[in-house]
Amino acid sequence: MIAYLNGNYLPRDKAVISAEDRGFNFADGLYEVIRSYSGRLFKLDAHMKRLRRSIDELRIPFDDIGKVKEIAERLLKENDLSSDDATVYIQITRGHAPRKHGFPPKDVPPTIFAYASAFKPHEQELNEGIKIILKPDIRWTRCDIKSVSLLPNILAFQEAKEKGAVEAVFMRDGAVTEGSHTSVFAVFDNKVFTAPKSHYILPGITRDVVLDLCRKRNIPFEEFPILESRMKKAEEFFITSTITEITPVVQIDEWMVGNGKPGPVTRELQGSVKELIEDFLR
C-alpha cells in the first residue's frame, strides 16, 4: 500500500515519523476520513471545509487545502482504487520538535500523513441493526474539532466491543451528544431528532446529508437534544458516519428499541442515501 508522508508517496511501512512528533507526544493534531464510491470522493468539499476549520482552530500553520484534495485523489490512483469503494485517512500534526508545551518555532513544518484503503460496508449491521451502550461523556468541550486526541472515545468504544456492542454513545447533562465515532439520531412520533451543532459534538458530514434528505423527503426533523428521560419512548435510533453510513440501532444497553428491528424512517433514509450516491456517481 502506498501512503503519503510530507511530500512523498511511499510504501506505508516506510512512512515513519519522528519520536518527537507532537502528534505522538501531545496528540497535537487533527484528522479527516473521506469515503470514496467507485473511485469518487464523496462530499469532498465538506470534508475539506471541516479540515480547514480544525486546522484554524488548532492554529496549525498549513494553508494548502488544495494539496490535500490532490493527495486524496492521487492515493486512490496509486493504490488501484480508482473504481472501488475506499476510505482516505488524512492526519496533520504540528510537526516535530523537542517536547515543550508551547508551539514550536514558526519554521517547523506540520506533519502530513495520508493513506487510502479498500472498504466494504458492514452489510449485516446495515440490514439487521446493532447494539450500542451508553457512557458518560467525559470528553473535553471542543468536540467540534476533529482532533486525534481520542482517548475517551477509544476507552468507551473498547468497552462497547467487550460488551458485544458496536458503538458507545455519550450522554452529557441528561442528553445524548454523539457516539465514539458516529452521530446519533432518534425518532419520536415519526420525527427525527439529533443533537444541535455545538462544541459538544463533531459536525458530522453524514449528519448534514441525513438532515438534507429529511428536508427533501418531507420527513419532519428537529436539531434538538435526545433527552435521557424520553429515550425509551423512541421508536427508532440510528447512528451515522462516513464509515457506518446509516446504521440502525436495535438495542441500547439491555433494552430493545421499538420491536427490535430497524424502523421505517431509518429504512427510508438508508434508501435515500443509496439514491443520493447513485446520483452522485451518474
Residues with a catalytic annotation lie at: 146
Distance CA 21, CA 212 (A): 39
The dihedrals phi and psi of 14, each to the nearest 5 degrees, come to -95, -5
Distance CA 113, CA 136 (A): 32
Q: Footprint of ligand PDD on this chain (CB under 6 A)? A: 33, 178, 181-183, 202, 204-207, 240-243
Distance CA 207, CA 233 (A): 22
Minimum separation from the CB atom of position 202 to ligand PDD (A):
4
- Give the nearer residue to ligand PDD in terms of CB position, either 204 or 225: 204
Minimum separation from the CB atom of position 208 to ligand PDD (A):
8
- Give the nearer residue to ligand PDD in terms of CB position, either 2 or 205: 205
Minimum separation from the CB atom of position 194 to ligand PDD (A):
11
Q: Where are the alpha helices (DSSP H) in the chain?
A: 22-26, 44-58, 65-78, 123-128, 151-162, 205-217, 264-281
Cβ atoms of 126 and 270 closer than 8 Å:
yes
Cβ atoms of 159 and 208 closer than 8 Å:
no
- Give the nearer residue to ligand PDD in terms of CB position, either 25 or 242: 242
Under DSSP, is residue 225 helix (H, G, I), strand (E, B) or coil?
A: coil
Minimum separation from the CB atom of position 241 to ligand PDD (A):
4
